Structure 1
Amino acid sequence: MKPIKLQATRVTPAVLLDPSRGVFKMYGRSSPENSMQFYEPILSALSNDIHGDKVDVRIKMEYFNTSSSKCIYDILKEVKRLEAKGKRVMVRWYYDEDDEDMLEAGEDYSDLLDLPFKFIEYHPNDQYQSRSA
């Protein structure tokens, strides 16, 4: 399957999903009118097309609404399923140093799914901010 590459908009995050390399990156804001419609192709690709023995997940969200939260949970549930199939999974959860809510959201996902996360604090003025996750 071809990689999924989506540019960030005002209401949707940038996404890179490259099944052949086992890479999933998502960053930005997520508040689309229909979250399921936006996230469905990503979920489908994760559930069917990840190759290799590792999965590298990097998530750096500034904001997400309630319906996006459920979709992010579903994505991470697919990642957990891949881990259960024997793939080596690394989830990096980036959060702004001043955003306790985003850190807690990542901790909640990690706890709910029993999926180890690496939490990475960043400062909005860091160089990382200007690059994709």
Structure 2
Amino acid sequence: MKNSSVIRVEGRQDTPTIVIDETKQLVKISGSSFNESAIDLYYQILDWVHKIEKNLEGQLHFEFDYIYINSSTKKMVFVLLNHLEKLFKAGNDILITWYYEEYDDDMLELGEDFAELITMPFNFIPKEEEDYY
């Protein structure tokens, strides 16, 4: 659904919710992502990045807030981060925020693994229990 400059794709049990705020240059991906067709969603995000990258002004912010992701999603996140890294190395202001549940060491470690592979700043933000609902 598109509302002025906000594109929102509602997630399901096995696909993430995606919010792209074109004005704020903010992309939020949240929920679970383990449906093989979810890969198409990541290509749509990548297409949007390709459309705006030549005229990028200010900061481009990506927020990842996963509950669970499968190996196909991990691959697509890496593809997306790899492209964002190219933009960062070209002098663009890219911010990555990785949310994880306070006691979810696996999701924190996954974000840390991505951060080790990519040479741009990552913010790691734990969600407290009241943030889960």
Question: Given the two structures, how large is their TM-score scaled by the length of structure 2?
Answer: 0.85
Instruction: Report the residue type matching 1:6 in the other structure.
Output: V
Structure 2 stretches lacking a partner, 5+ long: none
1:83 aligns with 2:69: no
SS at match of 1:48: helix
Instruction: Report the residue type matching 1:68 in the other structure.
Output: T
SS at match of 1:91: strand
Contact 2:19–2:29 (CA under 8 A) maintained in structure 1: yes
Structure 1 stretches lacking a partner, 5+ long: none
Q: How many residues end up aligned between the 2 structures? A: 128
SS at match of 1:92: strand
Counterpart for residue 111 of structure 2: 106
1:70 aligns with 2:71: no
**Root-mean-square deviation over aligned CA pairs:** 1.8
Shift of 1:3: 4.2
Contact 1:35–1:71 (CA under 8 A) maintained in structure 2: no
Identity of aligned residues (%): 28
SS at match of 2:8: strand
1:52-95 deviation digits (Å, cap 9, x = unpaired): 12111111100000001101111111221221222212211111
Deviating above 4 A after TM superposition, structure 1's stretches of 4 or more consecutive aligned residues are: none
SS at match of 1:52: coil
Question: Given the two structures, how large is their TM-score scaled by the length of structure 1?
Answer: 0.85
